[in-house]
Amino acid sequence: MTVSNRINIDVFVPMLIFDIMSSGNFALIEYSNLAFAGLLVIFGSGLLAWPVCRLLGYQWRTFLPPMMFSNSGNMGLPLILLAFGKQALPVAVVLFVVENFLHFSVGQQMIKQRLSILLLIKNPMILATLAGIAISESTLILPDVVQLPIHMLGQISIPLMLFSLGARLTELDFQDWRIGLAGALICPLSGLLIALLITPWLPLPNQQVPILLLFSVLPPAVLNYLVAEQSQQEPHLVASIVLIGNLGALVTIPLALWFIL
């Protein structure tokens, strides 16, 4: 899946982001509170997971990033699309962009203890976000000969994400099941608690609140394992957190949907 995942991350997902954000009906100001709420859920999850990490004796650079950075791409986008329909896709993309941006900035700083601004700016998803916002805020209208291929390429990303997630789950390893089980419990619970605490205080539209709640209980992102492997930050433990967390989502996500819907 290495080649297809790389193409998806570098081509198809940026096309999806650009397609949605450059559309004429995407008003950035409508999603500012949602983006802030997503940021609070991510950082709040890390704060709640910190004492648990210390109590269980895990390295914080190993345990906290998977608790903060959820599977808002492979699982979040198709799940929100399935649960709430096509009209919810811009909301899902905004949360995905916030999570992805923080993962490539704050997450890299947490693991590698250094942040490359150049790599952040060169990230295709960040470039697609900025370009899409620039188009939506201007009077420029892309011709169909440009917009249609971008739209078609972007539509490839979601089914390919689902396929990639399924392929990852076949590699499930229960050798380090204790830390994986801890992560599978702490990740959705900490996110949901923060979301429930902040939603009464933020002026979010009614249709965005259940999507934020669903975002808050998503399991750890597969990207956490890839970053840990690159940095040699106990990748075998992170793999267990990610894979058992996503397996645990077979229980937590239906419960969350039952509660939300």
pLDDT confidence band for 165 (50 / 70 / 90): low
Tell me the three state secondary structure of residue 255.
helix
Q: What is the CATH number of the domain that holds 22?
A: 1.20.1530.20
pLDDT digit string, tens, across residues 108-161: 788 776 666 777 778 888 888 888 888 877 877 888 898 899 989 988 887 887
Q: What is the pLDDT of residue 210?
A: 95
Q: What is the pLDDT of residues 203-239, one digit of tens each?
A: 999 999 999 999 999 999 877 877 787 678 888 888 8
pLDDT score, position 194: 97
pLDDT recorded at residue 153: 92
Q: How many domains does the chain have?
A: 1
Q: For the chain, what is the radius of gyration of the CA atoms?
A: 18
Check: CB of residue 126 under 8 Å from CB of residue 96. no
Residue 232 sits at φ, ψ, to 5 deg, of 55, 45
**What are the tens digits of pLDDT across the range 8-49?**
878 988 898 888 778 756 666 788 999 999 999 999 999 999
Distance CA 49, CA 62 (A): 12
Angle, CA 68 vertex, CA 179 and CA 153 arms, to 5°: 115
The span from the CA of 76 to the CA of 96, in Å, is 8
Residue 51 main-chain phi, psi, to 5 deg: -65, -35
Residue 2, amino acid: T
Q: Comparing C-alpha atoms, which of 64, 74, 141, 138 is closest to residue 106?
A: 64
C-beta of residue 151 within 8 angstroms of C-beta of residue 20: no
Against a cut of 0.75, is the pTM above it?
A: yes
Residue 172 confidence (pLDDT) above 70: no
State which residues form the domain around 184: 2-260
